[in-house]
Amino acid sequence: MNPADILDRLAQTLAARKAADPQVSYVARLHHKGLDAILKKVAEEAAETLMAAKDGVREKVVYETADLWFHTLVLLAHLDIHPDEVLAELARREGISGLEEKAARKEAL
C-alpha cells in the first residue's frame, strides 16, 4: 500500500464528488455548501485533533487526524488543488532548516 496512491485515489474521488448529488454524497453536500462550510469543518476537525492529542490517547489522535486530513483534502479539491502540489512543496522544504525557510518567506514579502 503506497500512501501516495491512496492520496491520489482519494483526490480523484473527492474531485468527482463535486458534481455528485448533495442528497446522496456527504462530500458533494460540503462542496454545495461552499468554501465557508468546508473551512468550518476543517477548523472543527483541527480542534478535535488538538483535543485528542491533549487527551494523549493514540488511537483518538490517529482517528481525528484522519478526519482532519480528509476534510483538508476536501478543501483542496474544492480549490482545484491536487495533493501532489502540497507533497511537492513538502519535498521542496525537505532538508531546509525551518528557521531558514521562515526567514526566506519573510524576505520574499
Q: Contact at 8 Å (CB) between 29 and 22?
A: yes
| Largest interatomic CA distance in the chain | 48
Is it the case that residue 102 has pLDDT exceeding 80? no
Is it the case that residue 3 has pLDDT exceeding 80? no
The per-residue pLDDT for 103 is: 78
CB 85: neighbour CB atoms within 10 A?
10
CB 98: neighbour CB atoms within 10 A?
8
Is it the case that residue 98 has pLDDT exceeding 90? no
What number does CATH give the domain 3-108?
Answer: 1.10.287.1080
Model confidence, pTM:
0.86
The per-residue pLDDT for 30 is: 97
Question: How far separated are the first and last CA of the chain, in Å rounded?
Answer: 40
Distance CA 109, CA 44 (A): 30
Q: What is the mean pLDDT of the chain?
A: 92
Question: Mean per-residue pLDDT for 24-33?
Answer: 96
Task: Summarize pLDDT for 57-69 with one digit per residue, the tens.
Answer: 999 999 999 999 9
